[in-house]
Each structure stands twice: as C-alpha cells, then as structure tokens.
Structure 1
Amino acid sequence: MKFDLHTHHYRCGHADGTIEDYIKAGIEAGLGVIGISDHSPYFGHEEEQPFPKIAMARSELTHYIDEVLRLKAKYEGKIDVLLGMESDFFPESFEAYRNVYANYPFDYLIGSVHQTSGVSIFNRNRWKHLNHEQQIEEKRRYYKMIADSARTGVFQILGHIDAMKGYYPAFSDLPAQDTIDETLRVIAECGVAIEINTSGKTKDVGGWYPSYAILERALHYGVEVTFGSDAHVPSRVGDDWELVRAMLKEIGFKHWVYFKNKKRIEVSL
C-alpha cells in the first residue's frame, strides 16, 4: 500500500496548487493514503504572517484544517486523506506551538528544524565565514536540536533530518557521527519516525534525505521510517516511492509506517 505523508500547497507561499490538486495527483500515482502537511504558521511571532513566502498565516490555519477535513470526506473510498502539518521547531517558543496543536484533530505532525543560530539551514552563505571547527559545531547544534524536537512528545515524524546538506553538499563530510548516533538513539527511545524525503533531488546535493549511511545507523538503533515526497508541485506526489522502498529493503528494514489519529500503522516492505 503506497502512501506519501509530506505534501504542501499554495498557502505556504512557495508551493503550487491546491490541496485537492495534490489529492488527485495521489490517486493518479496509485496512493492509498496521502497526508497533507503544509508549513505551520509562526505561532511564536507577534505578526500574523512574518514570512509570507515561507509559511501560512495564522488566520489560515482553521481554513486549512477545514479544507483538509472536507476533502477527506469527499474522497473517502478513493484515497485516505490525512490531516498533518509540517511544524517548525523553535525551542524558545515551542510551547505556543504545542498549545495550538492540542486544539485540532491532526493525524500526525512532522517536526522539522529549518533554522539554527537564527539562520535558515538552506542558506548557502552561512558556511562562508566559518572555519572547519565552527562548521562542525553548527552540524552538532543542528542534530542536537533534532534530538530535542523528538523529546517534545508532540511529533510523530521528524522531517528531512540531514537537509542542511541541501545547498551545501560538503555538510555530509563534516565529522559529527557521535552526535548523529546520539540523536538517532533519542529518536528511537521517543518512538518517533524519520521520513525518507525525496525532495533532496531538487536541491544542489541531489538524492534523498537522509543519507544511506544515516539510514543504516537508524536501523541499528531501531528507528522507524516513513515516506514523504515533500512535494511543492502536484507532479512530485509519491516521487521515487518504489526506489525508496527497494533501498530500505536492501538496508534491511522489514516495514515502514504511517500515522492515522496519531496511531502508528505498519506497512510491510
């Protein structure tokens, strides 16, 4: 049974298409389950929509949820539409996020670290003025934040856990294996899944998140895995699903998971 838990739409300001466009694309791709998971508003910010090209406005949240639930009912029997959200993780303001999420019937929440030290992980310029030791420290900081996001107990899934390499491929070669291993251990202990996210192919690094090597370590620690295309255009829904499935079997995984009503559902590989 095919599923894709990571899709976006026009409300975030940097994706094309409506929610229904992605659902129709999921049916066309042969999915049995599609999760809608647009970028969370900035709940810790005083402005309504401080970054219009990055995330939806706070006032759009209820419209988003209502639309997903309406379409869930409309497409019942054709595809299982799940209500998700890709949430930023800002430790200093995370209680505001926690409090908002408690009010809505999410099937799952994806926790993604998009910033460290106040700078986007996708900012190419962040690396230019750092020496080797400082670059390693940024990598460690990133993975420590991912571990902290797992500890919140709010997320069922952690998004693209090595996406910092997206526009800086040399990131993968920075030594920090002990910190990555500790993060994977924490993720496993907290019962959170990580996604294999195929959107890395749209960035400079190419390929998927996380790396083969990290997935091997994830299996060692007993981390659950799921699938997300991170589609920002409907044509990418389910992108590379069969290839990812084959890779996971090669590594040694026996199943992967998705979440409904925040309950983990296993799907054999």
Structure 2
Amino acid sequence: MKFDLHTHHFRCGHADGSIEDYIKAGIEHGLQVIGISDHSPYFAHEEDHPAPGIAMARSEFANYVAEVQRLKEKYRGKIEVLLGVESDYFPDKADVYRAAYKDVPFDYIIGSVHQVSGVSIFNRTRWQKLPEIRHVDEKKSYYDLIARSAQSGMFDILGHIDAMKGYYPAFSDIQTPEAIDDALRVIAQSNVSIEINTSGSTKYVGGWYPSDAILERAHYFGVNVTFGSDAHLPSRVGDEWELVAKRLKEIGFKKWVFYRQRKPVIVPL
C-alpha cells in the first residue's frame, strides 16, 4: 500500500496548487492513501494572518477542514483522503493549539518544530552569527523541543526531525549523540511516529529527513516510521517512496504506518 501523509497547498502561501490537485496527483502516482496536512494557522497570534507566506489565516482553518472533508467523499473508492495538519509546536502556546484542534475530526496531526530560540530552523544565516561553541547548544535545544513535542500528547507524527540541516548540511556533523538518542527514546515511549520526509532534496542538503544514522538509532529504540513527501508542488506527491521503502528494509524496519481517525494503520514493508 502506497501512501503520503505530508502535503501542502495554496493556503499556506508558499505551495502551489489546490488540495484537489494533490489528490489527483496521488491517484496519478499510484497512491492508495493521501494525507492533506497544510501548515497550521498561528492560533496564538492576535492577528488573523500574521505570516501570509508561511501559514494559512486562522479564519481559513474551518474552510480547510470542510474542503478536505468534502473531497474525502468525492474521491471515496478512488483514493483514501485523510485529514491532517502540520502543526507548529510552541511549548508555551501548546494549550491554545490543543483547544483549536479539540473538535476537529483529524485522522492525524504532524507536530513540527520550526523555530529554535525564536529563529526559523531554515534561517540561512543562523549559523554564521553563532560562535561554534554555541552550535552544540542550538542542536541540543532543537532535540529537546522535539522530545517535548512527543511528550505533549498532541501529535501522532513528528515532522522532519533533522530539518535544521536543510540549509546547513554541516548541522549533521555537530556532535550531540546523547541529545538525539534521548529524543528518540522519548518518541518511542510516547508512541509517536517519525516521518521519512523527502523534501530535503529541495534544499541545500539534498537528502531525506532524517539521516540514515538517525533512522538506524530510531530502529534500535523501536520508533515507528511513516512517509511524507512534504510536497509543495503536486508533482512531488509520493516522491521517492519506493527508495525510502527499500532503505527502511535495509536498515531492518519491517513495517511503517499511516493514521486513520488518530489510530495507526500498520503497513508491512
């Protein structure tokens, strides 16, 4: 069974195409299941749409949910459409987000850390401004946030757990093995999955999130895995799915999962 749980569309302001465009692309690319998971609004912000190029407006959220629900029915029997969201994780605002999601009929929620120390993880100048001695601290802070997101109970999947390397490939060389292992241990204990996200191919790093080294440790700790292209173009839906499945089997994984009504569905590899 071929699935992709991480897709975006025009509402986030930095993806092309409608939700239906991604569903049609999923059918074209042989998927049986496609998840729609656009970026959550900034629910805790006083403005309705504080970052038009990053996330949807708060006032658009209900329309987003309704559109996915409508398309679920329209494409029933052709492809299973799942309602998801890629949610930011801000520890001090978690209750606001939790309340916003309370009555939404999600199939799954992806929790992603997009900011560390108030700066985007994709900021290209972050590392230039930091003395090298601080690089370890920043990486540890990142994995501490990821561990806390797993413990929050808000999420089914954690998104792109080494995406800080996207525009700074040397991130992977910063030595913090204990911090990564501690995060993976917490993720396994929290029964949350991590995604293999193939959008790193669109960044400087040119590879998947997370690295093979992290996937090997995830397998050791018994972490569940899932797949997400993180497509911002319909043409990227399901991108490299077969290659990821092959690599996971080589590492030793026997299964991966997708989610329906917040419950994992096991798919043998």
TM-score interval (norm. to shorter): over 0.9
CA distance in 2, matches of 1:7, 1:205: 20
CA distance in 1, matches of 2:151, 2:160: 17
- 1:85–1:109 CA contact under 8 A, matched in 2: yes
Q: Are 1:174 and 2:174 an aligned pair?
A: yes
CA distance in 2, matches of 1:216, 1:263: 25
- Give 1:12's aligned residue: 12
CA distance in 2, matches of 1:92, 1:47: 18
Give the deviation of 1:95 after TM superposition.
Answer: 0.6
Instruction: Identify which range, 252-261 or 130-139, moves more after superposition.
Output: 130-139
CA distance in 2, matches of 1:34, 1:202: 21
- Give 2:110's aligned residue: 110
Q: Are 1:214 and 2:214 an aligned pair?
A: yes
Q: Are 1:37 and 2:41 an aligned pair?
A: no
Q: Secondary structure at the match of 1:135?
A: helix
CA distance in 2, matches of 1:47, 1:90: 17
Q: For residues 98-136 of structure 1, give each alpha carbon's deviation from its aligned partner in whole angstroms, at most 9, with x where no partner exists.
A: 001012000000000000100000001111121222011
Q: Are 1:257 and 2:250 an aligned pair?
A: no
Please provide the CA RMSD for this pair.
0.4
> TM-score scaled by structure 1?
1.00
CA distance in 2, matches of 1:58, 1:124: 28
Structure 1 unaligned blocks of 5 or more: none
- Give 2:48's aligned residue: 48
Aligned pairs (5 A) from 1:138-177: 138-177=138-177
- Give 1:130's aligned residue: 130
Letter in 1 for 2:89: F
- Give 1:231's aligned residue: 231
CA distance in 1, matches of 2:106, 2:12: 18
Q: For residues 186-208 of structure 1, give each alpha carbon's deviation from its aligned partner in whole angstroms, at most 9, with x where no partner exists.
A: 00000000000000000000010
- 1:44–1:94 CA contact under 8 A, matched in 2: no
CA distance in 2, matches of 1:255, 1:159: 18
Q: Secondary structure at the match of 1:128?
A: helix
Q: State percent identity of aligned pairs.
A: 68
Give the deviation of 1:259 after TM superposition.
Answer: 0.4
- 1:7–1:36 CA contact under 8 A, matched in 2: yes
Letter in 2 for 1:208: W
CA distance in 1, matches of 2:48, 2:62: 14
Give the deviation of 1:92 after TM superposition.
Answer: 1.2
Runs of 4+ off more than 2 Å: none
CA distance in 2, matches of 1:94, 1:123: 23
- Give 2:70's aligned residue: 70
CA distance in 2, matches of 1:266, 1:256: 6
